[in-house]
Amino acid sequence: MVYNNLVVRAGLGPDMPGKDTTGHSCLEINAGLDGVPASQSIVKVYHNTFYGCGQAGLPESGVLSMSTANFTLELRNNIIVSTEPYSINGPPPAGTSQHNLWFGRGAAPSFEPGALTADPGVIDARSNFRLAPGSPARGAGDVATAAMCPLDLDGAPRAGAGAVDLGAYQSTP
């Protein structure tokens, strides 16, 4: 389970000499590790803020990179802001993608019908990724998913605030 992370400007380079140059994403998913077949793996990605990742212009640059296939991906209550592709190395596998906010690359990916596509309205995109008043991500989260992540990145309760916010931080009422 990947939850309550703030990932900002990851994968921008430069590449390390002599190292693999394909790691230009916010999150690379390698399912099927530890002896569990990929087909039996469920990767849960909840309440994360992914902001400005990937090195511009590289074909292997994007937000989500799937190194394996045939696993189940649950992508919920995240904020994804990028001018690079939303997913690379093929479309995400079967699963659910809901209550996410996508911004910067155009329309939300086809694997999430009904997704929010708007500027998330963070306080300061250079240094403070908490949600500003009036942000469309405030109160847009799935309450059931929040029960699995009862605290935000700061340790504040999600359920105690009433409505559940998207991303790594829960706003105070």
With 0.75 as the threshold, say if the pTM is over it.
yes
Among residues 79, 1, 80, which one has the least CA distance to residue 45? 1
Highest mean pLDDT of the ranges 7-16, 54-63, 110-119, 159-168: 110-119
Each residue of 124-142: pLDDT tens digit?
999 999 999 999 999 999 8
Q: Which two tokens stand for residue 24?
A: 């230009």
- pLDDT score of 95: 77
By CB atoms closer than 10 A (0-12, 13-18, 19+), residue 10 is middle
Among residues 150, 162, 139, which one has the least CA distance to residue 3? 150
